[in-house]
Amino acid sequence: METENRSTNLTAEEIEVCRRAGIPIPTFKTAIEGIQETGLKLPGKYVVKMGEIFGNKIQWGQEKNVELSFVNKCNLNDEPGISIGEGWGFAGFTEKKGGIFLRYQEIFEANEHCLKIVA
């Protein structure tokens, strides 16, 4: 089955079911769109928090100073996005929870890890 568009990660049938039931269609943005929205200057040094996603909740780690840069392959799906080095990269972005970068270009709930720019 093909998806209607990449920003939903749902099939056209699933989207139609959501529409008929009046359920909001979950969407995501790419990290590139997130960079543009947040005004990040890459490469650049930032204070970030990394988190683990459990359903609709995030368990945040400690703040740390990192050098963010743009890379063409930032995760196991070879998606473009931002990297903090150390093998971590983020290809998706959502405005949920104040704007966070997601490990993959999928809806929030389909990700396990995320990154928030603190300063």
Question: Residues 52-78: pLDDT tens digits?
Answer: 988 778 999 999 999 999 999 999 989
Torsions phi, psi for 43 (to 5 deg): -70, 155
DSSP 20: H
- Where does the chain have alpha helices with state H? 12-21, 31-38
Listed in sequence order, the residues at least 6 apart from 46 whose beta carbon sits closer than 8 Å to its beta carbon are 40, 65, 66, 68, 117, 118, 119
Q: Domain limits of the chain?
A: 28-117
Structure tokens at 64: 């740390």
Q: What global pTM score does this model have? A: 0.77
Question: Residues 77-113: pLDDT tens digits?
Answer: 899 999 997 778 999 998 877 789 999 988 777 788 9
What per-residue confidence (pLDDT) applies to 1? Answer: 34
What per-residue confidence (pLDDT) applies to 8? Answer: 57
- Contact present, 27 and 8 (Cβ < 8 Å): yes
